[in-house]
Amino acid sequence: MTTHKTLIVPAFDFVQGDSPLLVCMPHPGLHLTPEVDDCLTDLAKKLPDTDWFMPELYDFLTPLGVGYIKANYSRFVIDLNRPYDDKPLYETKTTGLFPDVLFEDSPVFLEGKKPSEEAKEFYKEHIWKAYHSAIEQELARLKEKFGYAILFDAHSIAAEVPMLFDGVLPDFNWGTNDGKACDPLLANAATQILTPHFTQVLNGRFKGGYTTRHFGQPENGIHAIQLELSQATYLNDEMAKQHEYQLDETKLPFIKQQLREVIEACQHLRF
């Protein structure tokens, strides 16, 4: 199997803002390359491990003047929140740079079929490196302009994933690499703005992935925090059980208002 030498769509979409805050979305992508598409199981073709509807949940960013970068390719092509060398981020079970198991603990790829090593190297060079270089450059620009920069890494996940954790996740799962990725002011601002309607935890099962751990350097004026949002806060639960993903229009206004308040609280911090 040989890989094509160009991407079907750009690796990511980037909209520059005029505030010190940059929002990153590494896992909402729905595009597949032909090599990956040809190898997926029927269940994997439904892209069940996607961070569904991130752009819709955060559609207030541009009006607030907040910049964002959104990945266009599925994590089944390459997971942009894993290290380039694919070293595990957690001691517990997790998925890697090129996932071969679904969160449901079943195979991503058909038996005997996987993207070639040539294809993987292409994705590392033209998707992973491009995405992280864009983040690095924008954070440097923001730090130069404001004296500091804030990275908000936006994710979502099913409320119950037995392969990864026991029980049911809180609604908001914050990660700051156990406090190493940001000044406490950032974590405090994010957590204290939540209404009692939503549950939350700081540095629980999710402590921040590669993006938060790598770019979060408060000693150098760059502060990073990850939000792993429970999809129970905004998806139609019954449809999700059938691997059909739809926004719940009853839940949506509440979660969007809360997310907007979180972003505004982070945006107005001064370091």
The encoded tokens of residue 133 equal 């270089």
Does the residue 4 lie in any domain? no
Q: Which residues, given as ranges, of the chain have pLDDT below 50? A: 1-2
The encoded tokens of residue 166 equal 């026991």
> For the chain, how many structural domains are there in total?
1
**Please, which residues have CB within 8 angstroms of residue 85's CB and are 6 or more apart in sequence?**
none
Please give the radius of gyration of the chain, using alpha carbons only, rounded to the nearest integer: 18
Q: What confidence score (pLDDT) does residue 6 get?
A: 79
pTM of the model: 0.94
Does the residue 171 lie in any domain? yes
Residue pLDDT, tens place only, 34-58: 999 999 999 999 999 999 999 999 9
Does the residue 5 lie in any domain? no
Q: What confidence score (pLDDT) does residue 41 get?
A: 97
86: left (phi over 0), alpha (psi -120 to 50) or beta: left
Does the residue 27 lie in any domain? yes
For residue 140, the domain's CATH number is 3.40.630.40
Per-residue DSSP letter, 255? H
Does the residue 157 lie in any domain? yes
Q: Which domain holds residue 103?
A: 12-267
Does the residue 109 lie in any domain? yes
Which residue is associated with the tokens 């992508």?
29
Does the residue 7 lie in any domain? no
Does the residue 1 lie in any domain? no
Give the number of other CB atoms < 10 A from CB of residue 101. 17
